[in-house]
Structure 1
C-alpha cells in the first residue's frame, strides 16, 4: 500500500469556521499574538494566556469538520495516509482520519508545568488558574509556543521521507520548521499544493499547484488520486 503524506495548515480548518492564527492583523483583544502564545507571556500574565486558549477551545467545541477533512478520510480506502498538521484542533480526528501528528500541540489537551510528560485530555473548554496536575503544578495549554522547540518535528521528517505521494493543504509554507518538510520528500514523488494563495515552490520538482479552497477541490482531487495512484 502506497504511503500518502498530508501536511495541513490553518486554511484547512478555516472553512469550518475556525479563525486563523493571524486573523484581525495578528491581534486578540489588543494583544499581539506573540503576547499570548509564548513562554514569556505565560510568565507575565498566565490568566490572559489561559483566556486566549479558552476562547479558541470554546469555539472548537462549536464547529465541525468540513468537506476537505472528510475527503481525506476516503483516501484511507487505498492508501496508508499519514497526516501531519500544524493545526491544534481535532477536526481531522473527528472526521475519521486514523493517523494524525500534531506538530504544534493540541487544543483539547493540557499539560503539567513541571513535568511535560504529564498530559491530560480536556472534555470541557475552560482551563483555569488553580487547575493542577497530579504533582500539584499548574496546568498549561498543550501547545508549542513561539520560541519553544517543536518536539515532534523529527518524527514528522521521518514520515515525510516515506511519502509515495505528498499533499500540502491550507498553509503558506512560510512557518518553519513545518514549511521545510516538503524538502525532505524524495524528488521523484508526486506533490500537490492546495491553497487559494499557493505559489510555486522553487527547487521542488513534480509539484502541482492548485489555487482553490480545500473544501471545494479536495473531494475531486481525492477521487482523482484514488483512480490514478491506487
Structure 2
C-alpha cells in the first residue's frame, strides 16, 4: 500500500525575512520613525491620509525588491521534494515564493498586490514598486495595498487553523509568537504532533507537548532541521 505523504506545516515570521535584509515592520527605517505604526498601517490611517499610507508601502516595496531568499527559505523549498509543505506566513514579502515554495498562505496580506476599495475580491498583481493615488480598479475605485491593517480581520485565519489541525509536523520560525491571532494557531495543534521551534532566543510559550527547540537563526536552524526531516522520511520509506 502506498504511504501518504506527510503534511509539514510551517509558521514563519519577520525573523526569516530580516536575514535577507528586510527590516521588520516595527524597525522600518528612515523618515518613518516619526510616525506610529497606527498612523501608516491602520484603516483609520487610510481613511485620514491615504497618500501617506501609499508612500509608506511604496518604500517598503522598493526595499523588498532588493532582497533575495536566504538559506532558510531555500531549505523550506527543498522539503517539498519529501513532504507536502504548507507555509503560513506573517510576512508580506514574497521571499518564500522566490525560493520555490509552492503553497504559501499570507496571513497579513501581500506587499506586491493591490486590491479594490470597493470590492475586496478584486485583487491585482502590481507591475512595479509603486501604488499611487489615482490608481483605480476596473470599477473605477481607488486601489489600496493588499495588506491586513490594524483594525481589520485576518481573512485567512480559518484556513490557517484548518491547515494546522492537519499537520503531521509543525515548524515555527522567525516569530516570537507575540502577534495575535497568529500566536493562537498553536491551540489548534494535536498534542502528539511533533513541533519544532527555531529561534536564537527561546520564546516563552504556554505549556505545549512534543516540542523541540533549535536555538539558531532561521538560515542556520532550518537547513539543519530540513536535513534531519529528510533523513527521517528516507528511513520511513526504507522501512
- TM-score normalised per structure 2: 0.93
Question: Does structure 1 residue 181 correspond to structure 2 residue 185?
Answer: yes
| Number of equivalenced pairs | 230
Give the aligned partner of residue 88 of structure 1.
92
Q: Deviations over 1:45-85 (max 9, x none)?
A: 10110000000001111111111000111111111001000
Contact 1:199 1:209 in 2 (8 A): no
Residues 200 and 209 in structure 1, CA contact (< 8 A), matched pair in contact too: no
Q: 1:131 aligns with which of 132, 135, 139?
A: 135
Q: Which residue of 2 aligns with 1:54?
A: 58
- CA apart distance, 1:29: 4.0
Which 5+ residue runs of structure 1 have no aligned equivalent? Answer: none
Corresponding position: 1:120 with 2:121: no
> What is the RMSD of the two structures over their aligned residues, measured on CA atoms?
1.5
Specify the alignment match of 2:25 in structure 1.
Answer: 21
Matches within 5 A, 1:1-230: 1-23=5-27, 28-230=32-234
User: C-alpha displacement at 1:195, in angstroms?
Assistant: 1.4
* Preserved CA contact (<8 Å) 1:81 1:99: yes
Deviation at 1:200, TM superposition (A): 4.5
**1:202 shift after superposition:** 2.2
User: Runs of 5+ in structure 2 lacking a partner?
Assistant: 235-239
CA drift at 1:198:
2.8
Deviations 1:86-144 (A, max 9, x none): 00000000100010000000000000001101100012001100000011101000000
Change (3 A) 1:53 1:24: closer
Bigger CA radius of gyration: 2
> TM-score under structure 1 normalisation?
0.96
